[in-house]
A = this chain, B = another copy of it.
Amino acid sequence: MDAASVRLAELLRAGLPADAVLTDPDITRSYGHDMASFCEAGTPAVVVLPRTVEEVQHVMRTATELRVPVVPQGARTGLSGAANAEDGWIVLSLVRMDAVLEIDPVDRIAVVEPGVVNAVLSRAVDEHGLYYPPDPSSWEECTIGGNIGTASGGLCCVKYGVTAEYVLGLDVVLADGRLLHTGRRTAKGVAGYDLTRLFVGSEGSLGVVVRAVLALKPRPPAQLVLAAEFTSAAAACDAVCRIMAGGHVPSLLELMDRTTIRAVNDMAQMGLPETTEALLLCAFDTADPAADLAAVGALCSAAGATQVVPAEDRAESELLLQARRLSLVALEAVKGTTMIDDVCVPRSQLGALLEGTARIAEKFDLTIGVCAHAGDGNTHPTVCFDASDAEESRRARESFDEIMALGLELGGTITGEHGVGVLKKEWLARELGPVSLDLHRGIKSVFDPLGILNPGKVF
Protein backbone atom coordinates (compact mmCIF):
# COMPACT_ATOMS: atom_id res chain seq x y z
CA MET A 1 0.00 0.00 0.00
CA ASP A 2 1.22 3.46 -0.84
CA ALA A 3 1.28 6.24 1.73
CA ALA A 4 -1.94 7.83 0.46
CA SER A 5 -3.82 4.55 0.81
CA VAL A 6 -2.43 3.99 4.30
CA ARG A 7 -3.63 7.42 5.37
CA LEU A 8 -7.01 6.81 3.71
CA ALA A 9 -7.49 3.53 5.59
CA GLU A 10 -6.43 5.18 8.82
CA LEU A 11 -8.95 7.99 8.47
CA LEU A 12 -11.70 5.54 7.52
CA ARG A 13 -10.93 3.37 10.56
CA ALA A 14 -11.47 6.38 12.81
CA GLY A 15 -15.22 6.13 12.12
CA LEU A 16 -15.73 2.46 11.30
CA PRO A 17 -15.26 -0.83 13.17
CA ALA A 18 -11.97 -2.62 12.41
CA ASP A 19 -13.71 -5.45 10.52
CA ALA A 20 -15.42 -2.95 8.22
CA VAL A 21 -12.26 -1.65 6.53
CA LEU A 22 -10.49 -4.10 4.22
CA THR A 23 -7.16 -3.26 2.60
CA ASP A 24 -5.63 -6.59 1.53
CA PRO A 25 -5.24 -6.12 -2.25
CA ASP A 26 -6.24 -9.72 -2.97
CA ILE A 27 -9.50 -9.01 -1.24
CA THR A 28 -10.05 -5.49 -2.49
CA ARG A 29 -9.37 -6.63 -6.06
CA SER A 30 -12.15 -9.21 -5.76
CA TYR A 31 -14.53 -6.32 -5.04
CA GLY A 32 -13.30 -4.43 -8.07
CA HIS A 33 -15.97 -5.40 -10.59
CA ASP A 34 -19.46 -6.61 -11.33
CA MET A 35 -20.48 -9.27 -13.88
CA ALA A 36 -20.05 -7.24 -17.06
CA SER A 37 -17.78 -8.37 -19.88
CA PHE A 38 -15.34 -6.01 -21.60
CA CYS A 39 -15.18 -3.52 -18.72
CA GLU A 40 -11.90 -2.57 -17.13
CA ALA A 41 -11.51 -2.86 -13.38
CA GLY A 42 -8.65 -2.04 -11.02
CA THR A 43 -7.65 -2.69 -7.45
CA PRO A 44 -9.49 -0.54 -4.92
CA ALA A 45 -7.39 0.89 -2.10
CA VAL A 46 -10.02 0.07 0.49
CA VAL A 47 -13.29 -1.81 0.78
CA VAL A 48 -15.58 -0.48 3.50
CA LEU A 49 -18.57 -2.39 4.84
CA PRO A 50 -20.55 0.03 7.00
CA ARG A 51 -23.54 -0.96 9.11
CA THR A 52 -25.04 2.44 9.84
CA VAL A 53 -25.97 5.66 8.10
CA GLU A 54 -23.43 7.50 10.25
CA GLU A 55 -20.67 5.17 9.09
CA VAL A 56 -21.61 5.83 5.45
CA GLN A 57 -21.50 9.56 6.20
CA HIS A 58 -18.04 9.13 7.68
CA VAL A 59 -16.88 7.33 4.53
CA MET A 60 -18.18 10.09 2.28
CA ARG A 61 -16.72 12.87 4.43
CA THR A 62 -13.35 11.13 4.35
CA ALA A 63 -13.56 10.62 0.60
CA THR A 64 -14.42 14.30 0.16
CA GLU A 65 -11.57 15.37 2.39
CA LEU A 66 -9.02 13.29 0.48
CA ARG A 67 -10.72 13.61 -2.94
CA VAL A 68 -10.81 9.83 -3.36
CA PRO A 69 -13.41 8.32 -5.73
CA VAL A 70 -16.06 6.06 -4.20
CA VAL A 71 -18.09 3.35 -5.91
CA PRO A 72 -21.21 2.19 -4.02
CA GLN A 73 -21.84 -1.54 -4.41
CA GLY A 74 -24.52 -4.10 -3.76
CA ALA A 75 -24.12 -7.75 -4.76
CA ARG A 76 -22.16 -6.84 -7.94
CA THR A 77 -24.49 -8.82 -10.17
CA GLY A 78 -24.78 -5.89 -12.59
CA LEU A 79 -24.05 -6.40 -16.28
CA SER A 80 -22.71 -2.99 -17.31
CA GLY A 81 -19.68 -2.41 -15.11
CA ALA A 82 -21.45 0.28 -13.09
CA ALA A 83 -20.02 -1.21 -9.88
CA ASN A 84 -16.46 -1.47 -11.16
CA ALA A 85 -13.67 0.30 -9.29
CA GLU A 86 -10.38 1.72 -10.46
CA ASP A 87 -7.00 1.58 -8.73
CA GLY A 88 -6.96 3.48 -5.45
CA TRP A 89 -10.73 3.92 -5.12
CA ILE A 90 -12.92 3.24 -2.12
CA VAL A 91 -15.43 0.44 -2.61
CA LEU A 92 -18.46 1.25 -0.46
CA SER A 93 -20.27 -2.05 -0.08
CA LEU A 94 -23.74 -1.76 1.44
CA VAL A 95 -24.30 -5.49 1.91
CA ARG A 96 -24.14 -5.35 5.70
CA MET A 97 -26.96 -2.82 5.86
CA ASP A 98 -29.51 -5.51 5.12
CA ALA A 99 -32.43 -4.96 7.48
CA VAL A 100 -36.08 -4.97 6.49
CA LEU A 101 -37.13 -2.21 8.86
CA GLU A 102 -40.86 -2.16 8.33
CA ILE A 103 -43.64 -3.86 6.36
CA ASP A 104 -47.07 -2.23 6.51
CA PRO A 105 -50.06 -3.96 4.90
CA VAL A 106 -52.36 -0.93 5.33
CA ASP A 107 -49.99 1.59 3.78
CA ARG A 108 -48.63 -1.13 1.48
CA ILE A 109 -45.04 -0.09 1.97
CA ALA A 110 -41.79 -1.62 3.09
CA VAL A 111 -38.92 0.36 4.54
CA VAL A 112 -35.56 -1.29 3.92
CA GLU A 113 -31.84 -0.82 4.10
CA PRO A 114 -30.03 -1.01 0.76
CA GLY A 115 -28.26 -4.33 1.32
CA VAL A 116 -31.45 -6.39 1.59
CA VAL A 117 -31.44 -9.13 -1.02
CA ASN A 118 -34.37 -8.87 -3.44
CA ALA A 119 -35.57 -12.43 -2.73
CA VAL A 120 -35.34 -11.90 1.04
CA LEU A 121 -37.59 -8.86 0.77
CA SER A 122 -39.96 -10.67 -1.60
CA ARG A 123 -40.38 -13.54 0.84
CA ALA A 124 -40.75 -11.23 3.82
CA VAL A 125 -43.59 -9.24 2.25
CA ASP A 126 -45.22 -12.41 0.95
CA GLU A 127 -45.76 -13.44 4.56
CA HIS A 128 -47.98 -10.37 4.92
CA GLY A 129 -49.96 -11.18 1.77
CA LEU A 130 -48.00 -8.54 -0.12
CA TYR A 131 -45.94 -8.51 -3.29
CA TYR A 132 -42.76 -6.68 -4.30
CA PRO A 133 -42.83 -7.18 -8.08
CA PRO A 134 -39.38 -6.28 -9.50
CA ASP A 135 -37.66 -9.61 -10.14
CA PRO A 136 -34.35 -9.36 -11.99
CA SER A 137 -32.87 -12.75 -12.96
CA SER A 138 -30.33 -12.35 -10.16
CA TRP A 139 -33.07 -11.83 -7.57
CA GLU A 140 -31.68 -14.48 -5.21
CA GLU A 141 -28.45 -12.48 -4.89
CA CYS A 142 -28.96 -8.88 -5.97
CA THR A 143 -29.74 -6.18 -3.42
CA ILE A 144 -32.47 -3.57 -3.36
CA GLY A 145 -29.82 -0.85 -3.29
CA GLY A 146 -28.30 -2.27 -6.46
CA ASN A 147 -31.76 -2.58 -8.00
CA ILE A 148 -32.39 1.09 -7.26
CA GLY A 149 -28.98 2.14 -8.56
CA THR A 150 -29.51 0.34 -11.84
CA ALA A 151 -33.31 0.69 -12.07
CA SER A 152 -33.66 -3.07 -12.51
CA GLY A 153 -36.41 -4.81 -14.38
CA GLY A 154 -37.29 -8.48 -14.63
CA LEU A 155 -39.89 -10.86 -15.95
CA CYS A 156 -42.91 -9.22 -14.34
CA CYS A 157 -42.42 -5.75 -15.85
CA VAL A 158 -44.91 -6.23 -18.65
CA LYS A 159 -47.66 -6.03 -16.04
CA TYR A 160 -46.01 -4.53 -12.97
CA GLY A 161 -43.34 -2.16 -14.28
CA VAL A 162 -39.75 -1.70 -13.13
CA THR A 163 -38.00 -0.87 -9.86
CA ALA A 164 -38.46 2.86 -10.40
CA GLU A 165 -42.20 2.51 -10.00
CA TYR A 166 -41.82 1.03 -6.53
CA VAL A 167 -39.48 3.57 -4.96
CA LEU A 168 -41.49 6.16 -3.00
CA GLY A 169 -38.77 7.78 -0.95
CA LEU A 170 -35.07 7.55 -0.19
CA ASP A 171 -32.50 8.49 2.39
CA VAL A 172 -29.31 9.31 0.55
CA VAL A 173 -25.85 10.21 1.82
CA LEU A 174 -24.49 12.87 -0.50
CA ALA A 175 -20.92 13.16 -1.75
CA ASP A 176 -20.04 15.56 1.08
CA GLY A 177 -21.61 13.37 3.75
CA ARG A 178 -24.87 15.30 4.21
CA LEU A 179 -28.00 13.20 4.61
CA LEU A 180 -30.84 13.88 2.18
CA HIS A 181 -34.44 12.70 2.53
CA THR A 182 -36.44 12.46 -0.69
CA GLY A 183 -39.99 11.54 -1.50
CA ARG A 184 -42.55 10.23 0.90
CA ARG A 185 -44.31 7.36 2.67
CA THR A 186 -47.66 8.33 1.16
CA ALA A 187 -49.35 6.89 -1.91
CA LYS A 188 -49.24 10.28 -3.63
CA GLY A 189 -47.12 13.39 -3.27
CA VAL A 190 -45.90 16.21 -5.51
CA ALA A 191 -43.87 18.36 -3.13
CA GLY A 192 -40.97 19.70 -5.17
CA TYR A 193 -38.83 18.12 -7.87
CA ASP A 194 -38.81 14.34 -8.13
CA LEU A 195 -35.37 13.76 -6.62
CA THR A 196 -36.31 10.18 -5.77
CA ARG A 197 -36.55 9.24 -9.42
CA LEU A 198 -33.37 11.11 -10.21
CA PHE A 199 -31.45 8.69 -7.97
CA VAL A 200 -33.12 5.60 -9.40
CA GLY A 201 -30.89 4.37 -12.20
CA SER A 202 -28.15 6.91 -11.48
CA GLU A 203 -25.66 4.08 -10.81
CA GLY A 204 -24.18 5.58 -7.67
CA SER A 205 -23.12 8.76 -9.44
CA LEU A 206 -25.30 11.15 -7.41
CA GLY A 207 -25.36 9.76 -3.87
CA VAL A 208 -25.41 6.65 -1.70
CA VAL A 209 -28.85 5.23 -0.96
CA VAL A 210 -28.98 4.16 2.69
CA ARG A 211 -32.71 3.60 3.14
CA ALA A 212 -35.70 3.19 0.86
CA VAL A 213 -39.47 3.34 1.21
CA LEU A 214 -40.88 0.87 -1.30
CA ALA A 215 -44.43 0.51 -2.56
CA LEU A 216 -45.97 -2.94 -2.40
CA LYS A 217 -48.90 -4.59 -4.16
CA PRO A 218 -51.33 -7.11 -2.77
CA ARG A 219 -50.13 -10.62 -3.61
CA PRO A 220 -51.81 -11.72 -6.84
CA PRO A 221 -53.05 -15.27 -7.48
CA ALA A 222 -50.38 -17.72 -8.68
CA GLN A 223 -49.74 -17.32 -12.39
CA LEU A 224 -50.50 -19.94 -15.00
CA VAL A 225 -48.17 -20.18 -18.00
CA LEU A 226 -48.77 -21.05 -21.64
CA ALA A 227 -46.09 -22.04 -24.17
CA ALA A 228 -46.57 -21.43 -27.89
CA GLU A 229 -44.24 -22.66 -30.64
CA PHE A 230 -43.67 -20.78 -33.89
CA THR A 231 -41.93 -21.59 -37.14
CA SER A 232 -40.45 -18.10 -37.34
CA ALA A 233 -39.46 -15.35 -34.95
CA ALA A 234 -41.58 -12.98 -37.06
CA ALA A 235 -44.72 -15.02 -36.34
CA ALA A 236 -43.96 -15.03 -32.60
CA CYS A 237 -43.51 -11.25 -32.65
CA ASP A 238 -46.75 -10.91 -34.56
CA ALA A 239 -48.45 -12.88 -31.79
CA VAL A 240 -46.97 -10.50 -29.19
CA CYS A 241 -48.45 -7.53 -31.08
CA ARG A 242 -51.85 -9.22 -31.34
CA ILE A 243 -51.86 -10.01 -27.62
CA MET A 244 -51.02 -6.46 -26.60
CA ALA A 245 -53.30 -4.81 -29.16
CA GLY A 246 -56.05 -7.15 -27.94
CA GLY A 247 -56.00 -5.44 -24.56
CA HIS A 248 -54.58 -8.38 -22.63
CA VAL A 249 -52.52 -7.80 -19.52
CA PRO A 250 -50.27 -10.83 -19.09
CA SER A 251 -48.09 -11.04 -16.00
CA LEU A 252 -45.27 -12.32 -18.20
CA LEU A 253 -44.69 -12.48 -21.96
CA GLU A 254 -41.30 -13.91 -22.83
CA LEU A 255 -39.65 -15.08 -26.02
CA MET A 256 -36.82 -17.58 -26.52
CA ASP A 257 -35.26 -18.14 -29.91
CA ARG A 258 -34.01 -21.46 -31.29
CA THR A 259 -30.43 -20.87 -30.18
CA THR A 260 -31.56 -20.19 -26.64
CA ILE A 261 -33.89 -23.20 -26.58
CA ARG A 262 -31.07 -25.51 -27.70
CA ALA A 263 -28.65 -24.05 -25.20
CA VAL A 264 -31.12 -24.64 -22.37
CA ASN A 265 -31.77 -28.22 -23.51
CA ASP A 266 -28.02 -28.87 -23.74
CA MET A 267 -27.50 -27.62 -20.22
CA ALA A 268 -30.52 -28.98 -18.41
CA GLN A 269 -32.23 -31.56 -20.64
CA MET A 270 -35.50 -29.73 -20.28
CA GLY A 271 -37.02 -31.26 -23.39
CA LEU A 272 -37.94 -27.98 -25.01
CA PRO A 273 -39.08 -28.33 -28.64
CA GLU A 274 -35.91 -27.96 -30.74
CA THR A 275 -37.72 -27.98 -34.08
CA THR A 276 -39.30 -24.63 -33.34
CA GLU A 277 -37.81 -21.25 -34.29
CA ALA A 278 -39.27 -19.30 -31.40
CA LEU A 279 -41.08 -20.10 -28.19
CA LEU A 280 -43.42 -17.65 -26.48
CA LEU A 281 -44.22 -17.98 -22.80
CA CYS A 282 -47.26 -16.07 -21.64
CA ALA A 283 -48.71 -16.01 -18.13
CA PHE A 284 -51.67 -14.56 -16.29
CA ASP A 285 -52.09 -14.06 -12.54
CA THR A 286 -55.73 -13.02 -12.85
CA ALA A 287 -58.84 -14.45 -11.20
CA ASP A 288 -59.39 -16.80 -14.16
CA PRO A 289 -55.98 -17.37 -15.78
CA ALA A 290 -57.17 -20.39 -17.80
CA ALA A 291 -59.73 -18.22 -19.61
CA ASP A 292 -57.13 -15.55 -20.33
CA LEU A 293 -54.66 -18.16 -21.59
CA ALA A 294 -57.33 -19.62 -23.87
CA ALA A 295 -57.90 -16.21 -25.45
CA VAL A 296 -54.17 -15.64 -25.87
CA GLY A 297 -53.71 -19.16 -27.21
CA ALA A 298 -56.24 -18.41 -29.94
CA LEU A 299 -54.31 -15.26 -30.88
CA CYS A 300 -51.08 -17.26 -31.03
CA SER A 301 -52.71 -19.81 -33.32
CA ALA A 302 -54.03 -17.02 -35.54
CA ALA A 303 -50.47 -15.68 -35.76
CA GLY A 304 -49.26 -19.10 -36.94
CA ALA A 305 -48.31 -20.98 -33.77
CA THR A 306 -47.84 -24.67 -34.52
CA GLN A 307 -48.38 -25.74 -30.92
CA VAL A 308 -50.09 -24.00 -28.03
CA VAL A 309 -49.64 -25.73 -24.68
CA PRO A 310 -51.15 -24.24 -21.55
CA ALA A 311 -49.60 -25.50 -18.33
CA GLU A 312 -51.99 -27.67 -16.38
CA ASP A 313 -50.90 -26.44 -13.00
CA ARG A 314 -48.43 -24.45 -11.02
CA ALA A 315 -45.67 -27.07 -11.23
CA GLU A 316 -45.78 -27.18 -15.02
CA SER A 317 -45.81 -23.39 -15.07
CA GLU A 318 -42.74 -23.25 -12.86
CA LEU A 319 -40.88 -25.67 -15.14
CA LEU A 320 -41.47 -23.42 -18.16
CA LEU A 321 -40.27 -20.39 -16.23
CA GLN A 322 -37.26 -22.34 -15.05
CA ALA A 323 -36.27 -22.88 -18.68
CA ARG A 324 -36.55 -19.17 -19.33
CA ARG A 325 -34.54 -18.28 -16.23
CA LEU A 326 -31.73 -20.63 -17.30
CA SER A 327 -31.38 -18.96 -20.69
CA LEU A 328 -28.47 -16.64 -19.97
CA VAL A 329 -26.44 -19.22 -18.07
CA ALA A 330 -27.11 -21.77 -20.79
CA LEU A 331 -26.00 -19.37 -23.52
CA GLU A 332 -22.83 -18.68 -21.55
CA ALA A 333 -22.00 -22.38 -21.74
CA VAL A 334 -22.12 -22.32 -25.56
CA LYS A 335 -18.69 -20.72 -26.07
CA GLY A 336 -17.54 -19.92 -22.57
CA THR A 337 -18.27 -16.19 -22.63
CA THR A 338 -21.23 -13.99 -23.50
CA MET A 339 -21.97 -10.34 -23.99
CA ILE A 340 -25.56 -9.75 -23.02
CA ASP A 341 -27.17 -6.84 -24.79
CA ASP A 342 -30.28 -5.11 -23.47
CA VAL A 343 -31.87 -3.26 -26.36
CA CYS A 344 -35.49 -2.23 -25.89
CA VAL A 345 -37.66 -1.19 -28.84
CA PRO A 346 -41.32 -0.27 -29.17
CA ARG A 347 -42.94 -3.68 -29.15
CA SER A 348 -44.28 -3.09 -32.66
CA GLN A 349 -40.61 -3.15 -33.77
CA LEU A 350 -39.71 -6.39 -32.01
CA GLY A 351 -39.88 -8.43 -35.22
CA ALA A 352 -37.59 -6.00 -37.02
CA LEU A 353 -35.07 -6.14 -34.19
CA LEU A 354 -34.97 -9.95 -34.16
CA GLU A 355 -34.65 -10.11 -37.94
CA GLY A 356 -31.84 -7.55 -37.86
CA THR A 357 -30.06 -9.37 -35.05
CA ALA A 358 -30.11 -12.60 -37.08
CA ARG A 359 -28.57 -10.65 -39.99
CA ILE A 360 -25.87 -9.28 -37.71
CA ALA A 361 -25.07 -12.76 -36.36
CA GLU A 362 -24.65 -14.00 -39.92
CA LYS A 363 -22.52 -11.03 -40.95
CA PHE A 364 -20.10 -11.53 -38.07
CA ASP A 365 -20.27 -15.34 -38.21
CA LEU A 366 -21.30 -15.54 -34.55
CA THR A 367 -23.84 -17.35 -32.43
CA ILE A 368 -26.25 -14.79 -30.98
CA GLY A 369 -29.09 -16.22 -28.91
CA VAL A 370 -32.03 -13.98 -28.16
CA CYS A 371 -34.29 -14.15 -25.19
CA ALA A 372 -36.63 -11.26 -24.66
CA HIS A 373 -39.15 -9.71 -22.33
CA ALA A 374 -41.22 -9.65 -25.48
CA GLY A 375 -44.24 -7.88 -24.03
CA ASP A 376 -42.00 -4.91 -23.25
CA GLY A 377 -39.99 -5.06 -26.48
CA ASN A 378 -36.94 -5.57 -24.25
CA THR A 379 -34.51 -8.03 -25.84
CA HIS A 380 -31.32 -9.61 -24.59
CA PRO A 381 -29.39 -10.56 -27.73
CA THR A 382 -26.57 -12.59 -26.22
CA VAL A 383 -23.36 -12.87 -28.18
CA CYS A 384 -21.59 -16.19 -27.53
CA PHE A 385 -17.86 -16.16 -28.06
CA ASP A 386 -14.53 -17.57 -27.00
CA ALA A 387 -12.79 -14.87 -24.98
CA SER A 388 -9.38 -16.44 -25.62
CA ASP A 389 -9.85 -15.84 -29.36
CA ALA A 390 -8.95 -12.17 -29.89
CA GLU A 391 -10.40 -12.03 -33.37
CA GLU A 392 -13.69 -13.59 -32.30
CA SER A 393 -13.80 -11.26 -29.30
CA ARG A 394 -13.43 -8.28 -31.61
CA ARG A 395 -16.30 -9.51 -33.78
CA ALA A 396 -18.39 -10.06 -30.65
CA ARG A 397 -17.85 -6.46 -29.55
CA GLU A 398 -18.65 -5.15 -33.05
CA SER A 399 -21.83 -7.17 -33.36
CA PHE A 400 -22.88 -5.96 -29.89
CA ASP A 401 -22.48 -2.37 -31.07
CA GLU A 402 -24.39 -3.00 -34.30
CA ILE A 403 -27.32 -4.37 -32.34
CA MET A 404 -27.46 -1.16 -30.28
CA ALA A 405 -27.30 0.92 -33.45
CA LEU A 406 -30.19 -1.10 -34.86
CA GLY A 407 -32.18 -0.60 -31.64
CA LEU A 408 -31.77 3.17 -31.86
CA GLU A 409 -32.74 3.12 -35.54
CA LEU A 410 -35.96 1.34 -34.62
CA GLY A 411 -36.90 4.03 -32.12
CA GLY A 412 -35.57 2.10 -29.12
CA THR A 413 -33.04 2.53 -26.36
CA ILE A 414 -29.61 0.99 -25.79
CA THR A 415 -30.68 -0.22 -22.37
CA GLY A 416 -34.08 -1.37 -21.18
CA GLU A 417 -32.99 -2.50 -17.73
CA HIS A 418 -29.27 -3.29 -17.36
CA GLY A 419 -28.03 0.28 -17.29
CA VAL A 420 -25.11 2.10 -18.85
CA GLY A 421 -22.15 1.71 -16.49
CA VAL A 422 -18.85 1.58 -18.35
CA LEU A 423 -20.05 -0.73 -21.08
CA LYS A 424 -22.39 1.63 -22.90
CA LYS A 425 -21.33 5.12 -21.98
CA GLU A 426 -20.22 6.05 -25.50
CA TRP A 427 -23.57 4.77 -26.70
CA LEU A 428 -25.45 6.76 -24.10
CA ALA A 429 -24.02 9.96 -25.56
CA ARG A 430 -25.31 8.85 -28.93
CA GLU A 431 -28.80 8.12 -27.60
CA LEU A 432 -29.11 11.28 -25.50
CA GLY A 433 -27.53 13.87 -27.76
CA PRO A 434 -25.55 16.95 -26.70
CA VAL A 435 -28.35 18.98 -25.05
CA SER A 436 -29.34 16.18 -22.70
CA LEU A 437 -25.73 15.29 -21.99
CA ASP A 438 -25.03 18.88 -21.07
CA LEU A 439 -27.88 18.80 -18.52
CA HIS A 440 -26.65 15.44 -17.19
CA ARG A 441 -23.26 17.01 -16.50
CA GLY A 442 -24.91 19.98 -14.82
CA ILE A 443 -26.97 17.77 -12.52
CA LYS A 444 -23.96 15.63 -11.68
CA SER A 445 -22.01 18.74 -10.66
CA VAL A 446 -24.84 19.90 -8.39
CA PHE A 447 -24.81 16.62 -6.45
CA ASP A 448 -21.13 15.83 -6.69
CA PRO A 449 -19.10 18.97 -7.39
CA LEU A 450 -15.77 17.23 -6.74
CA GLY A 451 -16.61 14.29 -9.00
CA ILE A 452 -15.81 11.62 -6.41
CA LEU A 453 -18.98 9.54 -6.80
CA ASN A 454 -18.37 6.71 -9.26
CA PRO A 455 -16.65 8.99 -11.79
CA GLY A 456 -16.45 7.94 -15.42
CA LYS A 457 -19.66 5.93 -15.27
CA VAL A 458 -22.90 6.57 -17.20
CA PHE A 459 -21.56 9.52 -19.24
Give residues in A with beta carbon < 8 Å to B. Answer: 104-109, 129, 150-151, 153, 157-158, 162, 164-165, 174, 178-182, 184-195, 197-198, 200-202, 206, 218-219, 241, 244-245, 247-249, 286-288, 344-348, 373, 375-378, 411-420, 428, 431-433, 435-436, 439-440, 442-443, 445-447, 458-459
Contact = CB atoms under 8 A, between A and B. Distances in A.
Nearest 6 A/B pairs, CB to CB: A442-B446, A218-B247, A197-B197, A187-B376, A189-B413, A188-B416
Contacts of A174: 435
Contacts of A129: 247
Nearest to A162: B188
A185 B346 contact: yes
A192 B348 contact: no
Contacts of A179: 435
A345 B109 CA distance: 13
A132 to B, nearest CB: 14
B247 A188 contact: no
A368 B390 CA distance: 75
A216 to B, nearest CB: 11
A206 to B, nearest CB: 8
A344 B188 contact: yes
A445 B439 CA distance: 11
19 contacts: A105-B244, A106-B348, A129-B247, A157-B187, A158-B187, A165-B165, A179-B435, A184-B344, A186-B345, A186-B378, A186-B412, A187-B376, A188-B416, A191-B414, A191-B428, A193-B198, A194-B200, A287-B288, A445-B446
Nearest to A425: B192
Judged by DSSP, the binding face of A is loop
A420 B194 contact: no
A248 B218 contact: yes
Contact of A194 (B107, B201, B373): B201
B287 A186 contact: no
Given A184-B413, A197-B198, 8 more contacts: A164-B194, A181-B435, A192-B201, A193-B201, A193-B440, A194-B194, A194-B201, A443-B446
Contacts of A153: 188
Given A195-B436, A198-B197, A150 B186 contact: no
B435 A344 contact: no
Nearest to A441: B446
B190 A416 contact: yes
Given A106-B241, A348-B104, A442-B446, A194 B198 contact: yes
Nearest to A187: B376
A295 B457 CA distance: 51
A194 B203 CA distance: 12
A1 to B, nearest CB: 35
A197 B428 CA distance: 18
Contacts of A416: 186, 188-190
Nearest to A442: B446
Contacts of A346: 104, 106-107, 109, 185-187
A181 B439 CA distance: 11
B190 A459 contact: no
